[in-house]
Structure 1
């Protein structure tokens, strides 16, 4: 029997590879639709932030040209245009701004926060008020609104009225129950730009002074306290209390006094020489 050996032919045609390249998909024109955010306030950075303070103003630009704008809260400078100004509302909120143009729509969400606290520090270059031989103390302070993660330079602040609460040496004196209304309460003051690490700086300084507390001897331990409500408002709108700031004075049996307010402090001993702010 004949045995045949099979040999592969050198002319065999290899099998055609019919694998196809993936089809390319054109990008949607709406993938280029964006809203650019730029805060009016130079601080804090970045100016593209979407967490803002009440009343903050932000420039918004639509990437595809002219758009129709809507907002869930707050104020827009115009309902139409490529660039508009958004003014945040006067209360904490989550706000959605929508732009529609060129057949596309996109949104940006802002978190709006209110001032939470007040911080003070002795004004640089100032001294301590004191009258020699009379229990007395006073300081001038710079004021900052916290937090420092947003700008509050588009609002105003004011102290409200409250009674003086006393103990010890001050009981039965003219400081016992004295109202803050006649000592600066009710005056609205503008807020300036933010100082990094401190907060939005109030335009102006605060004076915290005991006046002359010579209510007779012997001196003894005592305290005076104003628990002052602090309010804010946007564009002369409705006000809201956001913090209570204590302005405190103490006296000891030697007639020495201290003052403190929102972190700013000062002290004067009875026989210290006359001095001023």
Structure 2
């Protein structure tokens, strides 16, 4: 449904709607001024003059169209009557006292252990949303900070990206003409991995083997690792006894792994550990096999990464029965052929 159009009076003069209030105001001003001057000339009552001055100023502020600038007095006509000079409160105080500057933070990713997103301890390459109580110029001693308003203009919000190296850092917010405020941040890098067995590997009866499949989590859990990649690096094995004389694993090279991203739980990876099925042949004897596998991390899509831990793959055969235990980073499996 459409509203009925307003029907114009054919005998009235054509005046645009937006101009009508302006004409009414302009015609009213000279009349008020003439009345005030007449009273002043005749020595009129001062109280009446003050009332007319206040009434006229209010009328001008309420009826004249257009924006009103803060601190600007309304128009006056004729000589001032018992009134203090108008003062712009901003210019009179040199811009007024600067508002206090405070910074609040919120990490974009949650920590798996439930630590609040207002935490100031973050993982490498984590993103943190910054909010200042007033528009400011943002700087940071480590990492990178990108304001919501690019360029030299102040901005009340920004995003800080933590560096890829561990250590303390300071974010500074400086209001134009005000006192800067700061917040301290701490960046940590991955420390270790924790493996949790999900299933045992299957072997043929009479053959050796005690391997398993495990889920992988990167520690610590009070920060997020969703903005890094991890992989295992190459390393030579050290083998003695059964693993050397029968399996010939001494000096066996662990291959370089593939760069992998982590999920919101700092995991989402799976590790397959131990002798491959169907299993190792006889004769069994005591022995030990060790792979000290370097663990590396990097910013996604960049260079070779940095080492953060060593994940030791260990297999130990007890004796001629072939009883064996395989372990790696907190997970283990045991089996006798």
Question: TM-score, normalised to structure 1's length?
Answer: 0.77
Give distance in 2, aligned partners of 1:29 and 1:41: 37
What SS does the aligned partner of 1:150 have?
A: coil
Give distance in 2, aligned partners of 1:40 and 1:143: 23
RMSD after superposition: 2.0
Give distance in 1, aligned partners of 2:314 and 2:330: 11
What SS does the aligned partner of 1:171 have?
A: helix
Structure with more helix by fraction: 2
Match of 1:34 among 84, 96, 102: 102
Map Cα deviations across residues 173-212 of structure 1 (whole Å, 9 max, x no partner): 332211001xxx2311112223xxxxx32x2211102125
Give distance in 2, aligned partners of 1:29 and 1:189: 52
Give distance in 1, aligned partners of 2:110 and 2:274: 35
| Closer/same/farther in 2, CA of residues 205 and 41 from structure 1, 3 Å limit | same
Provide structure 2 residue ranges, at least 5 long, that are not aligned to the other structure.
Answer: 1-95
Question: TM-score, normalised to structure 2's length?
Answer: 0.64
Map Cα deviations across residues 112-135 of structure 1 (whole Å, 9 max, x no partner): 111111111112xx3333222111
- Residue 102 of structure 1 deviates from its aligned partner by 5.1
- Residue 147 of structure 1 deviates from its aligned partner by 1.9
| Closer/same/farther in 2, CA of residues 186 and 30 from structure 1, 3 Å limit | farther
| Closer/same/farther in 2, CA of residues 228 and 167 from structure 1, 3 Å limit | same
Give distance in 2, aligned partners of 1:93 and 1:214: 47
- Residue 227 of structure 1 deviates from its aligned partner by 0.4
Give distance in 2, aligned partners of 1:75 and 1:52: 14
2:84 match: none
| Closer/same/farther in 2, CA of residues 30 and 122 from structure 1, 3 Å limit | farther
What SS does the aligned partner of 1:46 have?
A: coil
Give distance in 2, aligned partners of 1:73 and 1:237: 19
What SS does the aligned partner of 1:170 have?
A: helix
Aligned 1:110-121 pairs, distance under 5 A: 110-121=185-196
Q: Which runs of 4+ in 1 moved over 6 A?
A: none
Contact 1:94/1:110 (CA < 8 Å) preserved in 2?
yes
Give distance in 1, aligned partners of 2:97 and 2:189: 38
Which piece of structure 1 moves more, 41-50 or 155-164?
Answer: 41-50
1:81 match: 155
Match of 2:262 among 191, 203, 210: 191
Give distance in 1, aligned partners of 2:300 and 2:101: 33
The structure with higher relative contact order (CA 8 Å, sep 6+) is 1
Contact 1:39/1:58 (CA < 8 Å) preserved in 2?
yes
Give distance in 2, aligned partners of 1:40 and 1:174: 50
2:248 match: 174
Which piece of structure 1 moves more, 146-155 or 83-92?
Answer: 146-155
- Residue 54 of structure 1 deviates from its aligned partner by 0.8
What SS does the aligned partner of 2:222 have?
A: coil
Match of 1:160 among 218, 225, 233: 233
Match of 1:137 among 196, 210, 220: 210
Match of 1:57 among 122, 127, 138: 127
Which piece of structure 1 moves more, 81-90 or 98-107?
Answer: 98-107
| Length, aligned pairs only | 230
Match of 2:293 among 217, 222, 228: 228
Provide structure 1 residue ranges, at least 5 long, that are not aligned to the other structure.
Answer: 1-27, 195-199, 271-277
What SS does the aligned partner of 2:250 have?
A: coil
Contact 1:128/1:267 (CA < 8 Å) preserved in 2?
no
Structure with more strand by fraction: 1
2:116 match: 46
